[in-house]
């Protein structure tokens, strides 16, 4: 297990490098010159060249990449072109906010998915199964920015129960209701897709596992239902965790629209603004951080799966 | 299957007593009648082998003894008493008390019958913890001695092994250890050696025979292999189409089979009695259990069938002491009195 863990961690280095290269290149193959967006159209060429040299955009690409990566690894992502200040602190705050929202949304989705999927799988082909599957289908098919707006209309506008925008009172975040209430609607909206996916995954796993010979063996040993459930959970866990880990990672970056609907100051908002303002350094930095999270979560998922399922250790 | 077998006669209350046991499965298309009126007696310490081909209802009968068939789709009727307990009247909670300490089962394919993500030790110990309420540590110690009982080499190390890390033979030994963990009075074995290599098969059979004698359990084997039957059984019951067609002590059945199906089965198998003769085959295929014929289920394939065979199910008759045959051709009803059920 230790050997596998070290090997698996070592694998993340080339993956991380490749990911960073793609992040870097994406920006350079996209059309449009970033300098254009910060200087007036009639700027003399010499001035443009001077600015270009200041940002290091005149050097050969491999050099630019090397410089960019070595600085990025030290937390220095350069300056935002549109705001003219270092990207690092803004990105850090946005990542923290997004991580919090994604963690809440994913946890909620995970719990809902496990409950619905477990019930559907255990009572396959009954009305419970059909109800749970219906909810899951709704979860994966409804556009979640639309659902976000509907929730705002119901809970903020009509019932006036929950706030619809932002992260609450200015100043540092605190774990009290005044702040947490701002998290409810976006987290619920965000939880819908993972809830649907996890429901379907868990349902399939549970009904498959319940049909396995070893469940008959467990019944033959006279185990109580609670004892059998333990076996079902441990058998279903590796796959469920894999689905969930990837969902959490995609929620981090995929919540752009939800963050926009709820004006949640996370990476989604940051990306959104960077795209419209053609703020390439911000775009690069944000994409890189999100991609690293993806790689990191994959690593965690792989290790957790291997810890849970002994058959995966033989490599 | 009979009330007059010597072993049964010696014991006033048999370990297993089944009367007119029927099992059917409701499927959306049809009702499959897998077992159609099986009578079964087994004395404490006796070993019975149920012999038959796929679809003869032998495994279903075995599972019905534990009420282990899928509860939603299965209809089980008839009488079933095991160790003086009325199994048919048991609630789910009572069944979970009954499975393990009274009766346990060895399954055909140990790789799929063992949970892949728990260690062997855990899977043996959890049954002991469940039924005896002892600590996990004590249960693990018991699991270790069980692995030694079934002659698993370096047992302490195997306790922490996962099923996929063991060879087929060791897995089946671990499965036997698990079945024995709560000292059952009745051990059921569903083709315990079918998934194993020939050399490992005989080791497992010898082990089972030895354990059965040492622990004094009643054992019911299910197999399609006459070689296995002759190795381990005191008595053999041959099943076809969900009914017992012939039943006798093992030497008698192998030396002088009476039912045409048993003769066909023996003629198609390599064993001591067939040396020097050509193997025969039984023409046709086993019956569709959803649409059993009105008469003898074997009649459509039987070379000796008479018109009467197709009309009504013949009764199971005793031809000699302890030898019962369900065939009006080889054992006409007017000569032998039918055995009351």
CATH of domain B6-102+184-325: 3.40.50.300
Residue B50 burial (10 A CB sphere; 0-12, 13-18, 19+): buried
The predicted-structure confidence for B251-281, as pLDDT tens digits, reads as follows 888 888 888 888 888 877 776 655 677 777 8
For residue A11, give how far its alpha carbon lies from the nearest alpha carbon of chain B (Å): 26
Whether A218 has a pLDDT exceeding 80, the answer reads yes
Q: Which band of pLDDT confidence, cut at 50, 70 and 90, is reported for residue B295?
A: confident
Q: What is the C-alpha to C-alpha distance for residues A215 and B118, in angstroms, rounded to an integer?
A: 13
Q: What is the C-alpha to C-alpha distance for residues B195 and A225, in angstroms, rounded to an integer?
A: 29
Q: What is the C-alpha to C-alpha distance for residues A103 and A100, in angstroms, rounded to an integer?
A: 5
Domains of chain A, earliest start first: 96-278 (1.10.3720.10)
User: Does A126 contact chain B (CB < 8 Å)?
Assistant: no
Give pLDDT, residue A314: 60
Give pLDDT, residue B11: 46
Whether B9 has a pLDDT exceeding 80, the answer reads no
Whether B289 has a pLDDT exceeding 60, the answer reads yes
Q: In chain B, which residues have their Cβ closer than 8 Å to the Cβ of A126?
A: none
Give pLDDT, residue B6: 44
For residue A220, give how far its alpha carbon lies from the nearest alpha carbon of chain B (Å): 6
Give pLDDT, residue A277: 81
Angle (nearest 5°) at CA B164 between B163 and B166: 70
User: Does B68 contact chain A (CB < 8 Å)?
Assistant: yes
Element (H, E) at A27: helix A2-29
Give pLDDT, residue B273: 58
The predicted-structure confidence for A238-249, as pLDDT tens digits, reads as follows 899 888 888 887
Give pLDDT, residue A180: 80
For residue B16, give how far its alpha carbon lies from the nearest alpha carbon of chain A (Å): 17
ipTM of the shown complex: 0.84
Q: What is the C-alpha to C-alpha distance for residues A164 and A162, in angstroms, rounded to an integer?
A: 6
Q: What is the C-alpha to C-alpha distance for residues B327 and B302, in angstroms, rounded to an integer?
A: 11
For residue A93, give how far its alpha carbon lies from the nearest alpha carbon of chain B (Å): 41
A150: how many CB neighbours lie within 10 A of its CB? Answer: 12
For residue A309, give how far its alpha carbon lies from the nearest alpha carbon of chain B (Å): 6
The predicted-structure confidence for B177-230, as pLDDT tens digits, reads as follows 999 898 899 999 988 888 788 888 888 888 888 888 888 899 998 988 888 888
B92: how many CB neighbours lie within 10 A of its CB? Answer: 11
Q: Which of B68, B104, B182 lies at the smallest CB-CB distance from A216?
A: B68
B116:A309 CB<8 A: yes
Q: In chain A, which residues have their Cβ closer than 8 Å to the Cβ of B99?
A: 219-222
Q: DSSP 3-state assignment of B221? A: strand
User: Does A221 contact chain B (CB < 8 Å)?
Assistant: yes
User: Does B95 contact chain A (CB < 8 Å)?
Assistant: yes
Q: In chain A, which residues have their Cβ closer than 8 Å to the Cβ of B165?
A: 310
B116:A227 CB<8 A: no
A234:B117 CB<8 A: yes
A26: how many CB neighbours lie within 10 A of its CB? Answer: 13
CA distances from residue A179 to A94, A106, B143 in whole angstroms, order as listed = 16, 19, 54
B95:A222 CB<8 A: yes
Q: Which residues contact B197 (CB under 8 A, 6 or more apart)?
A: B168, B169
CA distances from residue B108 to A88, B173, B190, B194 in whole angstroms, order as listed = 62, 12, 5, 6
Q: Which residues contact B6 (CB under 8 A, 6 or more apart)?
A: B322
Q: What is the C-alpha to C-alpha distance for residues A238 and B161, in angstroms, rounded to an integer?
A: 19
User: Does A93 contact chain B (CB < 8 Å)?
Assistant: no
Query: Between B42 and B338, where is the model more confident?
Result: B42
Tokens describing residue B212: 């059965």
B68:A212 CB<8 A: no
The predicted-structure confidence for B119-141, as pLDDT tens digits, reads as follows 999 999 999 999 988 999 999 99
The predicted-structure confidence for B230-255, as pLDDT tens digits, reads as follows 888 889 999 998 899 999 998 888 88
Q: What is the C-alpha to C-alpha distance for residues B29 and B150, in angstroms, rounded to an integer?
A: 44
Give yes or no for a contact between B187 and B218, defined as CB atoms under 8 angstroms apart. yes
Give yes or no for a contact between A161 and A79, defined as CB atoms under 8 angstroms apart. no
Identify any residues that bridge with B38 across adjacent strands, giving them in sequence order.
B21
Residue B313 — φ and ψ, nearest 5°? -70, 120
For residue A198, give how far its alpha carbon lies from the nearest alpha carbon of chain B (Å): 21
Q: What is the C-alpha to C-alpha distance for residues B156 and B159, in angstroms, rounded to an integer?
A: 5
Give pLDDT, residue B237: 93
User: Does B126 contact chain A (CB < 8 Å)?
Assistant: yes
User: Does A146 contact chain B (CB < 8 Å)?
Assistant: no
Q: What is the C-alpha to C-alpha distance for residues A192 and A261, in angstroms, rounded to an integer?
A: 15
Q: Which band of pLDDT confidence, cut at 50, 70 and 90, is reported for residue A82?
A: confident
Q: Which residues contact A107 (CB under 8 A, 6 or more apart)?
A: A191
Tokens describing residue A297: 């979560």
Residue in chain B lying closest to A220 (CA):
B99
Give pLDDT, residue B7: 44
Give pLDDT, residue B4: 43
User: Does B190 contact chain A (CB < 8 Å)?
Assistant: no
Classify the phi-psi angles of A56: left when phi > 0, otherwise alpha if psi is within -120 to 50, otherwise beta: left
If you compute the radius of gyration of chain B from its CA atoms, what whole number of angstroms results? 20
For residue A157, give how far its alpha carbon lies from the nearest alpha carbon of chain B (Å): 49
Q: Which residues contact B22 (CB under 8 A, 6 or more apart)?
A: B33, B35, B36, B37, B38, B75, B76, B77, B78
Q: In chain B, which residues have their Cβ closer than 8 Å to the Cβ of A226?
A: none
User: Does B314 contact chain A (CB < 8 Å)?
Assistant: no
Q: Which residues contact B159 (CB under 8 A, 6 or more apart)?
A: B119, B120, B121, B140, B143, B144, B147
Question: What's the whole-number mean pLDDT along residues B312-340?
Answer: 75
The predicted-structure confidence for B45-95, as pLDDT tens digits, reads as follows 889 999 988 888 888 999 999 998 888 888 899 989 898 889 888 888 888
Whether A217 has a pLDDT exceeding 70, the answer reads yes
Question: What's the whole-number mean pLDDT along residues A113-124?
Answer: 90
User: Does A217 contact chain B (CB < 8 Å)?
Assistant: yes
Give pLDDT, residue B28: 84
Q: Which of A212, A223, A234 lies at the smallest CB-CB distance from B126?
A: A223
First to last CA, chain A: 10
Give pLDDT, residue A179: 77
Residue A264 burial (10 A CB sphere; 0-12, 13-18, 19+): buried
Give pLDDT, residue B274: 59
A222:B113 CB<8 A: no
First to last CA, chain B: 9
Instruction: Give the closest residue to B234 by CA, choosing from B204, B213, B214, B215.
Output: B213
Give just the sign of the alpha carbon dihedral B99, B102, B107, B113.
positive
Number of DSSP helices (H) and strands (E) in chain B, helices first: 12, 12
User: Does A125 contact chain B (CB < 8 Å)?
Assistant: no
Residue in chain A lying closest to B66 (CA):
A220
Question: What's the whole-number mean pLDDT along residues A185-200?
Answer: 89
Residue in chain B lying closest to A305 (CA):
B117
Tokens describing residue B310: 């197709």
Identify any residues that bridge with A276 across adjacent strands, giving them in sequence order.
none
Q: Which of A217, A223, A227 lies at the smallest CB-CB distance from B113?
A: A217
Q: Which of A212, A221, A311 lies at the smallest CB-CB distance from B100?
A: A221
Give yes or no for a contact between B230 and B254, defined as CB atoms under 8 angstroms apart. yes
Q: Rounded to 10 degrees, what is the CA torsion of B331, B242, B195, B203?
A: -40
Tokens describing residue A145: 């920015």
Tokens describing residue B207: 């082990």
Q: In chain B, which residues have their Cβ closer than 8 Å to the Cβ of A308?
A: 117
Whether A161 has a pLDDT exceeding 50, the answer reads yes
Q: What is the C-alpha to C-alpha distance for residues B62 and B224, in angstroms, rounded to an integer?
A: 14
Q: What is the C-alpha to C-alpha distance for residues B19 and B23, in angstroms, rounded to an integer?
A: 12
Q: What is the C-alpha to C-alpha distance for residues B101 and B72, in angstroms, rounded to an integer?
A: 25
Give pLDDT, residue B272: 61
How far from chain centre, in Å, is Cα B135?
33
Residue in chain A lying closest to B127 (CA):
A221
């Amino acid at each position: 297990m230790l050997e596998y863990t070290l090997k698996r961690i070592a694998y993340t280095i080339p993956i991380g490098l490749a990911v960073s290269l793609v992040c870097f290149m994406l920006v350079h193959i996209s059309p449009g010159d970033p300098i254009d967006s910060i200087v007036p159209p009639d700027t003399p060429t010499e001035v443009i060249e001077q600015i270009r040299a200041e940002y290091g955009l005149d050097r050969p690409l491999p050099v630019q990449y090397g410089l960019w990566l070595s600085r990025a690894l030290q937390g220095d992502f350069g300056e935002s072109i549109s705001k003219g200040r270092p990207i690092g602190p803004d990105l850090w705050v946005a990542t923290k906010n997004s991580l919090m929202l994604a963690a809440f949304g994913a946890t909620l989705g995970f719990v809902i998915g496990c409950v619905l999927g477990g019930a559907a799988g255990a009572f396959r082909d009954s009305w419970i199964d059909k109800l749970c599957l219906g909810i899951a289908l709704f979860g994966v098919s409804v556009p979640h920015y639309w659902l976000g707006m509907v929730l705002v209309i119901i809970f903020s506008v009509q019932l006036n129960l929950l706030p619809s925008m932002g992260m609450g009172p200015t100043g540092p975040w605190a774990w009290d209701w005044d702040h947490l209430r701002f998290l409810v609607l976006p987290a619920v909206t965000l939880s819908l897709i993972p809830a649907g996916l996890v429901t379907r995954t868990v349902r399939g796993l549970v009904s498959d596992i319940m049909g396995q010979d070893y469940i008959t063996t467990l019944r033959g040993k006279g185990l109580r239902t609670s004892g059998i459930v333990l076996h079902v959970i441990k058998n279903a866990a590796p796959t469920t965790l894999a689905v969930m880990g990837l969902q959490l990672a995609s929620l981090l970056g995929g919540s752009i629209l939800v963050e926009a609907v709820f004006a949640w100051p996370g990476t989604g908002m940051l990306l959104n603004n960077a795209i419209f303002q053609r703020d390439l350094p911000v775009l690069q930095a944000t994409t890189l951080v999100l991609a690293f999270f993806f790689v990191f979560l994959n690593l965690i998922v792989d290790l957790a799966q291997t810890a849970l399922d002994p058959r995966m250790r033989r490599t | 299957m009979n009330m007059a077998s010597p072993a049964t006669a010696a014991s006033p209350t048999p370990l297993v007593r089944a009367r007119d046991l029927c099992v059917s499965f409701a499927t959306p298309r049809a009702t499959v009648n897998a077992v159609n009126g099986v009578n079964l007696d087994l004395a404490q310490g006796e070993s019975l082998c149920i012999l038959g081909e796929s679809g003869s209802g032998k495994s279903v009968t075995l599972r019905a003894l534990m009420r282990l068939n899928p509860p939603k789709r299965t209809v089980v009727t008839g009488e079933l008493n095991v160790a003086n307990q009325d199994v048919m009247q048991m609630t789910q909670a009572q069944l979970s008390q009954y499975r393990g300490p009274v009766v346990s089962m060895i399954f055909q394919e140990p790789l799929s019958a063992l949970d892949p993500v728990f260690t062997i030790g855990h899977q043996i110990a959890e049954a002991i913890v469940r039924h005896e309420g002892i600590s996990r540590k004590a249960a693990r110690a018991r699991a270790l001695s069980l692995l030694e009982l079934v002659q698993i080499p370096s047992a302490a190390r195997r306790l922490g092994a996962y099923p996929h890390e063991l060879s087929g033979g060791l897995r089946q030994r671990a499965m036997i250890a698990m079945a024995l963990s709560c000292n059952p009075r009745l051990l059921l074995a569903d083709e315990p050696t079918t998934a194993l290599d020939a050399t490992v098969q005989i080791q497992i059979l010898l082990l089972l025979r030895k354990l059965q004698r040492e622990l004094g359990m009643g054992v019911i084997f299910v197999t399609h292999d006459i070689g296995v039957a002759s190795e381990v059984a005191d008595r053999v019951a041959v099943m076809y189409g969900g009914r017992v067609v012939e039943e006798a002590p093992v030497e008698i059945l192998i030396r002088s089979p009476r039912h045409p199906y048993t003769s066909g089965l023996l003629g198609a198998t390599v064993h001591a009695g067939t040396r020097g003769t050509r193997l025969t085959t039984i023409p046709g295929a086993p019956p569709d259990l959803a649409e059993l014929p009105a008469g003898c289920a074997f009649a459509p394939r039987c070379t000796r069938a008479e018109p009467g065979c197709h009309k009504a199910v013949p009764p199971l008759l005793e031809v000699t002491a302890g030898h019962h045959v369900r065939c009006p051709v080889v054992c006409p009803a007017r000569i032998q009195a039918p055995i009351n059920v």
